Amino acid sequence: MFPALPKTVSFALAAISGFICDWAFPDKNLWFLAFVSIAGLVVSIARESAAWNFFIGTTWGIAFFLPHIAWAEYAAGGTLPWIALSVSQALFIGFAMWVFTIIRRWERISNNMGFSALAFAFTWVSVEALRMTIPWGGFPWGRLGFSQSDSPLARLAWLGGIPLISAVIAVLGFLIAAAIFAALRVNMWRVGLALSACVALIIVPFTVPLDTQAQSGTLNVAGIQGNVANPGLGAFANRQEVLNNHVAGTHAVAGRDTTQPLDLVVWPENGTDIDPQVDSTASALIDEAAQAVGVPLLLGAQEYPESGGRYNVSLLWQPGVGVIDRYAKQLPVPFGEYIPHRDFFRKLYAGVDLIYTDMIAGQEIAVVDVPVARLERTVPVAPIICFEVGYDDLIGSAVRGGAEVLFVQTNNASFGHTNESTQQLAMSRLRAIETGRSVLHISTVGVSAMYTPNGVEIARSGHFTAEQLVGSLNLRTSLTPAVVVGKWPVYIVSAGTVLMLVAGSVAGIKQRRSRRQMGTSTTSKKPGKK
């Protein structure tokens, strides 16, 4: 469909395009660069060679992921894990470009700009879903949709979640590339058609209805950001200090002069690394703080079962009673919270043993029932723990399970003064729109924030500060289209991608046979020697 560029130009363009894609995400938030970056990638893969386009896609991916997850080097305390993770994710982009190259051999795709753009989007969304699944539960960071928290496209999350936003970005990038090539050919009709489609895709999200009204009352919440003294790998070396900081923040909230009585206090992930269910000192400190505010406390903690391992949990603490409900993280982070195939990877990198106790996956959906005296009922809430905010179905299942508000409890202390915190915060904002739920995103060190169900920020903390966010969150029970349909659109898109891949493979075989036959025919017609 597009003329091929010299290989050196394609390589350089792919590298530059991948690099600027990171600028679409926090902290730069130049969201429109996501479209430009994808356009550059599309231009770079104009050659017919699937192997070459795999290389180009991987190049784009490495140039994107290295800066995008630079915080991985800081958190892991070494360059090797950061580079290994970046390259592994870049290979998925290379695979996507290989797949699309095969697909466009089907003439129905290659001869139609609209079909080509949709095929590219289908491929991109399918491979994003794949890299969120394998290996070891996948890795959700760097999905195109997560770049649009400040963009008009964010409103599409209500309709189809992050996959729909990613798909629209892919289409926009493809159409921009088509417009560029049409302009070079002075085909102004084609330029106008492509750019008109781009404008429509930017305008359409404004028609998406985003309801923010309370449907089942409001919840008055305080989020406690306790802070730590030493960011980085040693952030939780002094577990007692971290617990004390969150206890002190809770007492500070209790001493506030406010006309709105609190219903719940929320601590972040790792608000205490000392299990209050077995440690009497931690239990006494937490219960004293809970009794001071006079409401339940939802706190992030660690559990160490006698059978071994550990759970990353969100505990619901009732003043004077103790733990009355809990949620255990369902998706521990490989190489961050547990080490798969430890003996093998120890040979490659001795640092794996910094994680000396592997985390166990919880089995229950993320719903905890909070007794709220003011409302005279229990309120089901969704405690989402750290990286779980990146996984669509985990959050969707919690909302379908009755959660009326989302609490994203996270610990960003290990990532230091990097932009991992704000990247994650952008995900929470999009989740508010996607689920039609208010969100409290509370971190040990920040950045923490509160969002209305349409993604409007109503409170925000600093980074590496001790603060308390207090606000009233609207409770909602209706389900957005994105939550209702769940994973089915991605299943359908993935199935469509596989079918197009088969059709493209068959078309490619026919094309090669035709070329061979033409070559044989040409050879047979040559006059022989006399």
Q: At what angle do helices 79-103 and 113-131 cross, to 10 degrees?
A: 150
Residues 218 and 458: beta-carbon distance below 8 Å = no
The string of DSSP codes covering 299-331 is EEEEE--TTSSBEEEEEEEETTTEEEEEEE-SS
Q: At what angle do helices 113-131 and 488-524 cross, to 10 degrees?
A: 120
Show the tokens assigned to 277. Answer: 């269910």
Q: At CA 432, angle to CA 449 and CA 475, rounded to 5?
A: 90
CA 134 from chain centre, in angstroms, equals 15
* Neighbouring-strand partners of residue 467: 225
CA 205 from chain centre, in angstroms, equals 20
CA 7 from chain centre, in angstroms, equals 33
Question: CA of 479: how far to CAs of 96, 160, 393, 513, in Å?
Answer: 32, 12, 14, 52
Q: How many CB atoms lie within 10 A of CB 46?
A: 17
Single out the residue of 102, 100, 105 nearest to residue 118, CA to CA.
100
Cα separation, 18 vs 61, in Å, equals 6
| Strands 264-266 and 218-225, sheet pairing | parallel
Enter the DSSP assignment of 197. Answer: H
Strand order in the sheet with 218-225: 322-328, 311-318, 297-303, 264-266, 218-225, 467-474
Left if phi > 0, otherwise alpha if psi is -120 to 50, otherwise beta: which for 481?
alpha
Show the tokens assigned to 340. Answer: 């798969």
Show the tokens assigned to 32. Answer: 């429109």
Please report which helix (H) or strand (E) contains residue 389, including its range.
none
| Strands 457-460 and 449-451, sheet pairing | antiparallel
Active-site residue set: 269, 329, 386
Q: Return the half-sphere exposure (C-beta side, CA atoms, 13 A cut-off) of residue 241.
A: 10
Residue type, 57: G
Q: At CA 33, angle to CA 27 and CA 38, rounded to 5?
A: 125
